[in-house]
């Protein structure tokens, strides 16, 4: 059996006295699309941010492609890496944020090329060519030289997806990618994500778009109160939930 | 939508008369005329000598010294400020404490005191040496060889300026929203890289206007160096007027130089700000004072189209 892309075992995380994740375990297989759903404050965004070590876990273990993100293993202990060394791990994990967080001093193409140029050391010319192609892939041909403030929310989020793709990641984490968008712009972003899923990209998506989860996810994980309440294919979790908490959450969002 | 009847479309709009503005204008004009009259009517004031003082050799040397002092002290201040701001924002607690202490000390003591202090440092420390603390000395020079009036002035003004620049740069860096910093981290950028590539270019927009003020302030504060016998603009002026006793005329000439130089700096700042506005969706307000010379009607039209103009300017500036 091959090592899963993401393997979380007994992950715990608290912010001060506030425990956000208690003993969370799950795996994401290669090429799998996993949607994390649950009420706000359930810990799903924090869990996602732990995967690329934007948040440090307090206990348990979390590996991506067999490596402990943010740590170097020597024998039976883990040495925490410096921020500059963690970059090497993070470069292989794409992330798309709720508020897009494009670099406002750069054009769309420069945003997409930023990772390859400044992290991988690709030449500006090559990175720019690749960026233009990626932008065309997310439906933004011709907008390469626009600055983020000159783009709609949906366009900005598609640039952000292209920026993540430019690093040729093994895995992309989406943190509520459509929550900050006007309703009429949600579709265009989901469309891009749908096509990524169809191309076999491994994706972990924190989302409130139940319809998207139903259609695209291979597996849905429902979280509440810092634990995974249930997980399984959307046909089970979303259609025939076993737990009362899942049922009442779905009744509220549908 | 139904269109308004034609006859209404042809009605003329009459704006209220700006009585207040006319009244204020008349009052100011009266005061100005009276001022000019008084100046011309004072026989003890030798107006004709001012142009001569303006271009006097000693005065021009003073202008040069002021410019050099301002530029070097400001450069020292910006470098120190950047180092201090980065130290202040780092996760290293020792560095943070050092930066805090630096800002606390140099912002908390008058710059005039610092100038006199550095100028006289040779009284207590006869030699300045480089070596290992409590260990052997590698290199030593007499303090008085290093501390000349101009180097003491650069040291005093620069160290003081660094404390202010540190706060300006820090606020600029903190103005960049943390989401972008996180996005840079998620891409795998190191802290230094994201500071250079993402944060500083955006922070500059916040940093430049107050830095322009600081530069203009420095040009004027450099006059303090005259007390430690630097012959910058004020020092040169005081030498000239102590010889010919035309104090007011010489100082008027010096003020004209200061005004000319500060005006040039503000102009430079305006163009720099316009360049830095790229991508921000904002353009700086019109040149200082420019609105006074623009008609009311145009001003109204340009506010209406503000949104489009912004993008147009941002693009054309690329």
Contact status of B200 with chain A (Cβ, < 8 Å): no
Interface touch B180/A102, C-beta < 8 Å: yes
Neighbours of A206 (CB within 10 A): 25
Q: Could you tell me if A114 and A106 are in contact, meaning their C-beta atoms sit under 8 angstroms apart?
A: yes
Could you give the residue ranges of the DSSP H alpha helices within chain B?
6-9, 19-40, 49-54, 57-89, 93-108, 111-119, 143-146, 149-175, 178-187, 191-194, 200-221, 233-244, 247-276, 296-304, 306-316
- Among A120-124, A129-133, B204-208, which stretch is predicted with the lowest mean pLDDT? B204-208
pLDDT digits (tens, 9 = 90+) for A172-189: 999 999 999 998 999 999
Residue from the list A94, A103, A150 with its beta carbon closest to the beta carbon of B198: A103
Q: Is B291 or B154 the better-scoring residue by pLDDT?
A: B154
Chain B CB contacts of A160 under 8 Å are 183
CB B157 within 8 A of CB B221: yes
Q: Which residues contact B219 (CB under 8 A, 6 or more apart)?
A: B66, B70, B258, B261, B262, B265
Q: Higher confidence at residue B260 or residue B308? A: B260
pLDDT of res. B299: 42
Instruction: Indicate yes or no: CB of A103 within 8 angstroms of CB of B281.
Output: no
**Which chain A residues have a beta carbon less than 8 Å from that of B308?**
none
Residue of B nearest to A99 (CA): B179
**pLDDT grade for B316, boundaries at 50, 70 and 90:** very low
In B, minimum Cα distance to A148 occurs at B279
pLDDT tens sequence across B10-59: 788 888 889 999 999 999 999 999 999 998 888 888 888 999 999 999 99
Q: Is the pLDDT of residue A146 over 70?
A: yes
pLDDT confidence tier of residue B285, bands split at 50, 70 and 90 = low
Give the rounded distance of the alpha carbon of A3 from its chain centre. 19
Q: Which among A166, A169, A175 has a CA at the least distance from the CA of A202?
A: A169
Of A89, A101, A145, the CB nearest to B180: A101
Contacts of A107 in chain B (CB under 8 A): 279
Name the more confident of B274 and B189. Answer: B189
For residue A241, is pLDDT > 50?
yes
Position B224 pLDDT exceeds 90: yes
CB B159 within 8 A of CB B74: no
Check if B309 contacts A (Cβ < 8 Å): no
Tell which wins on pLDDT, B205 or A165.
Answer: A165
Residue B281 has a pLDDT of: 55
Please provide the average confidence, as pLDDT, over all residues in chain A. 93
* Cβ–Cβ under 8 Å, residues A95 and A84: no
- Taking contacts as CB-CB distances below 8 angstroms, the residues of chain A near B279 are 104-107, 147-149
Average pLDDT over residues A15-41: 94
The H or E element spanning position A252 is helix A244-253
pLDDT level of residue B292 (50, 70, 90 thresholds)? low
In A, which residues are within 8 Å of B309 by CB distance? none
Task: Give residues 275 to 294 of B whose Cβ lies within 8 Å of A.
Answer: 278-281
Q: Please judge whether A104 and B280 are an interchain contact, meaning their C-beta atoms are less than 8 angstroms apart.
A: yes
pLDDT of res. B57: 93
Q: What is the pLDDT of residue B294?
A: 53
Mean pLDDT of chain B: 85
Is residue B177 scored above 50 in pLDDT? yes
B198 touches chain A (CB under 8 A): yes
Closest residue of A to B315, CA-based?
A: A146
Mean pLDDT, to the nearest integer, of B286-290? 54
Q: Which residues of A touch B202 (CB under 8 A)?
A: 103-105
CA diameter of chain B: 97
Task: State the pLDDT at residue B267.
Answer: 92
User: What integer pLDDT is reported at residue A76 of this predicted model?
Assistant: 81
A169 vs A5, A34, A65, A135, B188, CA distance in Å? Answer: 12, 16, 11, 16, 11
Helix axes of B93-108 and B149-175: crossing angle, nearest 10 degrees? 120
pLDDT at A80: 87
User: Considering only CB atoms, which chain A residues are within 8 Å of B281?
Assistant: 147, 149-150
pLDDT band at B167; cut points 50, 70, 90: very high
The Cα A249–Cα B123 span in angstroms is 78
In chain A, % of residues over pLDDT 90: 86
Q: For residue A115, give the chain B residue with the closest CA.
A: B187
Which residue of B177, B187, B191 is in closest CB contact with A167? B187
What ipTM, to 2 d.p.? Answer: 0.91
Of A84, A101, A105, which has the smallest distance from its Cβ to B182's Cβ? Answer: A101
Q: Cα(A36)–Cα(A221) distance, rounded to whole angstroms? A: 5
Across A1-5, A71-75, B75-79, which has the greatest mean pLDDT?
B75-79
B275 vs A contacts (CB less than 8 Å): none
- The verdict on a CB contact (< 8 Å) between A150 and B314 is yes
- CB–CB contact A91 B185 (8 Å): no
Whether the predicted pLDDT of B123 surpasses 90: no
Q: What is the pTM of this model?
A: 0.77
Which of A101-115, A116-130, B37-51, B150-164 is predicted least confidently? B37-51
Is the Cβ pair B197, A119 closer than 8 Å?
A: no
* B307 CB within 8 Å of a chain A CB: no
Please tell me which residue of chain B has the smallest CA distance to A91.
B188
- Check residue B12 and give its pLDDT: 85
Task: State how far residue A21 is from chain B, nearest Cα, in angstroms.
Answer: 21
Q: Which residue in A has a C-alpha nearest to residue B311's C-alpha?
A: A150
User: Which residues of A fall within a CB distance of 8 Å from B180?
Assistant: 101-104
Q: State the best of B92, B182, B188, B207 to mutate against chain A, taking most chain A CBs within 10 Å.
A: B188
Give the distance from residue B313's alpha carbon to the nearest chain A alpha carbon, in angstroms. 12
pLDDT of residue A246: 94
A27-38 pLDDT tens trace: 999 999 999 999
Specify the pLDDT at position B291: 52
| Confidence band for B312, pLDDT divided at 50, 70 and 90 | very low
- The model's pLDDT over B131-157, given as tens digits with 9 standing for 90+, comes to 787 777 777 888 877 888 999 999 999
**Residues 52..81 of B with a Cβ closer than 8 Å to A: which?**
none
Q: Is there a contact between B179 and A97 if contact means CB atoms under 8 Å apart?
A: yes
């Amino acid at each position: 059996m091959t090592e899963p892309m993401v393997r979380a075992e007994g992950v715990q995380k608290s912010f001060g006295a506030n425990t956000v994740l208690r003993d969370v375990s799950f795996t994401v297989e290669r090429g799998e699309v996993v949607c994390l759903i649950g009420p706000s404050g359930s810990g799903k965004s924090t869990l996602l941010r732990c995967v690329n070590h934007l948040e440090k876990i307090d206990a348990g273990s979390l590996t991506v492609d067999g490596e402990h993100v943010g740590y170097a293993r020597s024998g039976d202990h883990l040495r925490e890496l410096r921020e500059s060394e963690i970059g090497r791990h993070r470069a292989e994990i794409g992330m798309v944020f709720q508020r897009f967080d494009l670099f406002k001093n750069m054009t769309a193409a420069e945003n997409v090329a930023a990772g390859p140029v400044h992290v991988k050391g690709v030449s500006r010319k090559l990175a720019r060519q690749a960026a233009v192609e990626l932008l065309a892939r997310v439906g933004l041909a011709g907008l390469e030289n626009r600055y983020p403030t000159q783009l709609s929310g949906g366009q900005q989020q598609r640039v952000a997806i292209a920026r993540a793709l430019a690093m040729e990641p093994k895995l992309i984490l989406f943190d509520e990618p459509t929550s900050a968008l006007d309703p009429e712009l949600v579709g265009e972003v989901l469309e891009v994500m749908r096509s990524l899923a169809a191309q076999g990209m491994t994706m972990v998506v924190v989302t409130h778009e139940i319809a998207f989860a139903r259609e695209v996810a291979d597996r849905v994980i429902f979280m509440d109160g810092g634990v995974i309440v249930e997980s399984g294919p959307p046909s089970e979790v979303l259609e025939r939930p076993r737990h009362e908490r899942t049922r009442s959450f779905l009744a509220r969002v549908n | 939508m139904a269109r308004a009847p034609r006859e209404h479309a042809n009605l003329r709009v009459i704006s209220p008369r700006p009585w207040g503005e006319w009244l204020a204008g008349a009052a100011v004009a009266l005061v100005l005329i009276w001022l000019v009259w008084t100046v011309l009517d004072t026989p003890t004031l030798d107006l004709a000598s001012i142009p001569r003082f303006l271009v006097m050799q000693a005065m021009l040397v003073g202008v040069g010294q002021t410019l050099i002092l301002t530029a070097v002290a400001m450069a020292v201040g910006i470098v120190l400020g950047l180092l201090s701001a980065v130290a202040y924002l780092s996760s290293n607690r020792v560095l943070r404490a050092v930066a805090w202490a630096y800002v606390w000390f140099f912002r908390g003591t008058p710059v005039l005191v610092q100038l006199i202090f550095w100028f006289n440092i040779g009284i207590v420390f006869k030699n300045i040496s480089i070596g290992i603390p409590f260990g052997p000395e590698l290199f030593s020079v007499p303090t008085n060889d290093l501390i000349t009036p101009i180097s003491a002035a650069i040291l005093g003004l620069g160290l003081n300026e660094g404390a202010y620049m540190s706060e300006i740069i820090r606020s600029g860096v903190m103005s960049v929203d943390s989401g972008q910093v996180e996005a840079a981290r998620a891409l795998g950028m190191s802290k230094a890289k994201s500071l250079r590539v993402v944060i500083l270019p955006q922070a500059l927009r916040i940093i430049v206007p107050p830095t322009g003020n600081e530069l203009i302030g420095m040009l004027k504060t450099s006059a303090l160096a005259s007390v430690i016998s630097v012959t910058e603009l004020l020092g040169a002026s005081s030498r000239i007027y102590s010889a010919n006793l035309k104090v007011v005329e010489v100082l008027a000439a010096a003020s004209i130089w200061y005004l000319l130089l500060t005006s040039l700096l503000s102009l430079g700042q305006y163009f720099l700000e316009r360049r830095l506005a790229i991508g921000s969706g904002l353009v700086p307000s019109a040149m200082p004072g420019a609105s006074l010379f623009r008609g009311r009607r145009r001003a109204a039209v340009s506010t209406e189209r503000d949104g489009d103009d912004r993008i147009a300017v941002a693009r054309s500036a690329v």
